[in-house]
Amino acid sequence: MDFGDTPEEAAFRAEARDWLEANAPAKGSPEAFDLMSSPGRSTEQEKELAGQARNWQAKLASGGWACLDWPPEYGGRGASTAETIIFEQEQSRFGISMSMFMAALEMAAPTLMTWGTDEQKQQFLNPIRRGEMVFAQLFSEPNAGSDLAGLQTRAVKDGDEFVVNGQKVWNSYAHLADWGILLARTNPGVPKHQGLSYFFVKMDSEGLELRPLRQMTGGAEFNETFFDNVRIPAENVVGGVDNGWAVAQTTLNSERAAVGAQASVVDVRALVELAEEKGQAGDLAVRQALARAWMRSEVLRYLGMRVYTALSQGAEIGPEASIMKLLTGDHLRDTSQTAMELLGPEGMLDDDAWVTRMVSHFAHKIGGGTPEIQRNVIGERILGLAREPRADRGIPFRELKV
């Protein structure tokens, strides 16, 4: 099996690299932008970075490099999964952060392509591709995360509109978004998965309030979102009223695929260089840690290739995405811990990536499904263990004790 580029892919990589070198800011250059919040960054500074990210997405679109795998009728190139990944790999070598577009590009757009009406596709897809519409995911609630279908935010029909009341939480980049993808309960008289609807909601709607959540990294990428009689036009329901669970599966599968397809997140070479720089590369315990880190990163690389292969063959992502997600969390924790030990007390003052990785690995583990949920998937889908018992099966939502 050859995991290298084919001659066509190598030519595509060279073309992408040339274009990026001519157009993208280098890592660490004054034009580079990284949206992961850092301590002390003001809202204004964050909005400025978000503006740079929007400009970059617009530049990609005008250069013909945005949304490569979208069908040409939606402005894409109909590129293969391999080509899309090659472009992302090349782009990651530059001073660019695309995390703000995750909900628009990896969640809202694929969901629209599957479930949207022609009018909805017309309204949203092109502006998303050009970076003009940033989205936030408004799914989780204080009492509904792993058990998302237990959510309580209500949407009640009133003429041509729905009136929404409730609270969402952990909404990444919602303070920078123009639109939200919202899951709300439209029918509490049926079992919990059956009475949900999926909406597009404008983030500047009257009655919608955001409160930032500051994390231990010092940044505040997350928000709580409160709905107080927010009115949403009925035409902004995606995929039909009370059909939101099926629609949300498209969003969640696509999110999982995006997370699962991420390249190995830690460059072990950088860790080796740090050990050498600190004169610790001969230390027995350090050498053991470096070897373990390298082995994990190789396992992640090959698992990533399985995910890419499944994607390129149009197959569903299997439980390997769960294994990848679990292993990536462990890899982030262990490598950043090794780096912090190498840095010693200096590590606490270090404002580069290691300390941020150290404190943010918890978030990586939880977002997109906790370790326990991933292990449940592995237990059920790989090991064939009995499914978890569900006491709420078939019971109307309003009769559940929540």
Using CB under 6 A, list all residues that contact ligand FAD: 137-140, 145-146, 170-172, 363, 366-367, 370, 372-373, 376, 388
Cβ pair 83, 12 in contact under 8 A:
yes
Looking at the Cβ atoms of 263 and 366, the one nearer to ligand FAD is: 366
Looking at the Cβ atoms of 9 and 147, the one nearer to ligand FAD is: 147
Question: What minimum distance in Å lies between the beta carbon of 292 and ligand FAD?
Answer: 25
How many Cβ atoms from other residues are within 10 Å of residue 333's Cβ?
16
Cβ pair 372, 320 in contact under 8 A:
no
Question: What minimum distance in Å lies between the beta carbon of 134 and ligand FAD?
Answer: 12
Question: What minimum distance in Å lies between the beta carbon of 342 and ligand FAD?
Answer: 26
Looking at the Cβ atoms of 16 and 259, the one nearer to ligand FAD is: 259
Question: What minimum distance in Å lies between the beta carbon of 184 and ligand FAD?
Answer: 12
Residue 223 and residue 212: Cα distance in Å, rounded? 4
DSSP of 335-383: HHHHHHHHHTTHHHH--SHHHHHHHHHHHHHHTTS-HHHHHHHHHHHTS
Residue 365 phi, psi (nearest 5) = -65, -35
Per-residue CA distances from 6 to 20, 39, 269 (Å): 21, 44, 26
Catalytic entry in 255, 316, 372, 399 = 255
As to burial, measured by CB atoms within 10 angstroms (0-12 exposed, 13-18 middle, 19+ buried), residue 324 is buried
For the chain, the C-alpha Rg in angstroms (whole number) is: 22
Helix (H, G, I), strand (E, B) or coil at 264: coil
Looking at the Cβ atoms of 81 and 356, the one nearer to ligand FAD is: 356
Residue 110 and residue 247: Cα distance in Å, rounded? 10
Looking at the Cβ atoms of 272 and 366, the one nearer to ligand FAD is: 366
Cβ pair 211, 260 in contact under 8 A:
no
Residue 216 and residue 359: Cα distance in Å, rounded? 7
Question: What minimum distance in Å lies between the beta carbon of 373 and ligand FAD?
Answer: 6
HSE, CB side, 13 Å, CA atoms: give it for residue 337: 12
Helix (H, G, I), strand (E, B) or coil at 27: coil
Looking at the Cβ atoms of 219 and 304, the one nearer to ligand FAD is: 219
Q: For this structure, is 44 an active site residue? A: no
Rounded-to-5 percentages of helix, strand, coil across the chain:
50, 15, 35
- For residue 5, give the DSSP letter: P
Give the residue closest to ligand FAD by C-beta: 145
Question: What minimum distance in Å lies between the beta carbon of 171 and ligand FAD?
Answer: 5
Catalytic residue ranges? 255
